[in-house]
Each structure stands twice: as C-alpha cells, then as structure tokens.
Amino acid sequence: MTDQSNRFKKIAIAAHPKLPEAGKEAYKIAHFLKQHGQDSCLALLYDDKLVNSIKNHEIDLLIVLGGDGTMLRAGHLCGPYDIPILGINLGHFGFLMEIRQNQWREFLPELFKGNFWLEKRMMLNARSYHNDELTGEYQVLNEVFVGRGGFVRPVRLEAHVDGRYLTTYVADALIAATATGSTAYALAAGGPILPPELRNILLVAVAPHLSIDRGIVLSEGSSVSIIVHSDHQAQICADGQNPVALNDNDRVEISASEHNAEFIRFQDPGYFYRNLTPHMNQNPSTGIIR
C-alpha cells in the first residue's frame, strides 16, 4: 500500500463520450465524493478542457469510466505528467481496469485511506521519419503497428535492433509492444504473454511469409528501427488510433519512453494471473455468455 492518501486533492472524473451510462455514473461518483468531503470535476475524455487541465497540472488523479480503450487514452494523456489513473470498467475485457461498475462505492473510501498501490507500466516512444525528417511522434501504452494499408499485400520491413541489422520481414505488419500490449494485438498475432511489471519491448510479426515467425523480447534499453519497403500502401498505427500513411523507405524508430502510465491498484500484485485465465477461457468481446 502507499502513504500518498493526501496526494489527491484535485480529482477529475472522465467519461467516454460514446457511453451514455458512463456520464450518468460519473455524476454519481462526483456526488458521492462531495458527500465525503472531496471536490471533483466532471469531464469528457476527449475534451480540450481536460487535456489542458492535465497539461497544466490542475488535477492529481483521473478517474475514468469505460473500457480498455478508455484506459489507453487516459494513459496517453496522463503518462507524460505522472498523474495516476483509476479505471472503472464499463466495457468488455477490462484487462487494464481496476474495479467494476458496481464496486466503486466500496473502493473509493479505501483510496483516501491510502489502501492502494501504484502500478507503473512502461510506455514506448515512437517516431516516424520521411527522408530523415520527423513526421510523427507517439507515446504508446500497448503497441506500435507498422505494416500494410488497405491492400491485402505483405510489405517488407527491414528491422534493426540497437543499430544492428536483425532481419527483413515479409509480412502484413511488425508489432512493437510493451508488456501491457502483450495481451492485445501481439497476443492475437501469436506473441507471448508478459506480466505487466516487465520493462521489455516485444517484437511480433503479423502473418509473416518465410520470415521469422517467433516473437522477440528485447530489453528496456533497446532501440528498434523499422524501414518500410513497399510499392503500395503502408501505415503506422499507435494503440489503435487513426493510422498514418508511410511511404517507401520511411523509417520508424521505437524505444522505451521516459514516461510511465500509473494505475491505481487495490488488488494484490497477483491480480494479473487471476484475471487472465477467465479472459482466456471466454472472450468477452464475443458477447456470448456460456
């Protein structure tokens, strides 16, 4: 647990704008906090007002309501400013979320007693270049996708690690993931599951053809360079956000970020394995309950 119970004096409660029930629940949480002598403000996750409040260090804690995508967005916003995040799950998986919708009345008082711990998850920094000119920069919590665009044709992806040539993949894409992202796209592509506390970079090819078809786990201090060779569409996509086109010979540089995403946890550190098995046995995204 932690002795930081007095740290959270300015709290923002952010709801996903496409989930009407999230907004209603956020209002209930704000009312609950006020009854317990704690002021807070309501926001929508993608509002400029919230972004500016975070950048100006006007909040100490962000409570978000939604699913894992909501937590990714919150991580992008809060990671560079060391602002902890508490996730309340209104989505399907909830791999990253801490408590369920019907649990917050039980756990919020524990937060202000200091009965929690902070889980720091490594993020990645990705930069894209065209003719050595920087064209984009991304803070990433799950993964960076570098691969084909709309055409169903593989691309050639020349991979270098720490400045040394590794291999050239002929594949749909190459994923560079954190331990957090090892249970996302990288897992679907056949990669290993890494516990969230590990600070590694995971490389996994998507549908490789006569190329290395095993995931490669790199140390935190490694740097990855991916050069695109393609005469058709290619793109970079960070954490499932809007993809950005890449041209032939464009380069993507990936390394560990100087920032971490900080998640509030009430469960013991073994929660990851305890929650993993039910998700693996039954995929919540199908909507089918057996």
Which residues carry out catalysis?
68
76/277 Cα distance (integer angstroms): 27
Residues composing the chain: 290
Residue found by looking up tokens 């979320």 in the block? 97
Neighbour-count burial of 48, counting CB atoms closer than 10 A to its CB (0-12 exposed, 13-18 middle, 19+ buried) = exposed
How is residue 16 annotated by DSSP?
A: -
AA identity, residue 176: A
Q: What is the DSSP string of 56-115?
A: TT--SEEEEEE-HHHHHHHHHHHGGGT--EEEEE-SS--SS--EETTTHHHHHHHHHHT-
Neighbours of 169 (CB within 10 A): 27
Q: What distance in Å separates the CA atoms of residue 55 and residue 118, rounded to the nearest whole number? A: 21
* 221-244 CB burial, b ≥16 within 10 A, e <16: ebebbbbbebeebbbbbbbeeebe
Cα–Cα distance for residue pair 246/230, rounded to 1 Å: 9
Distance of CA 86 to the CA centre of its chain: 14
Measure the CA angle with vertex 279, ends 276 and 280; round to 5°: 85
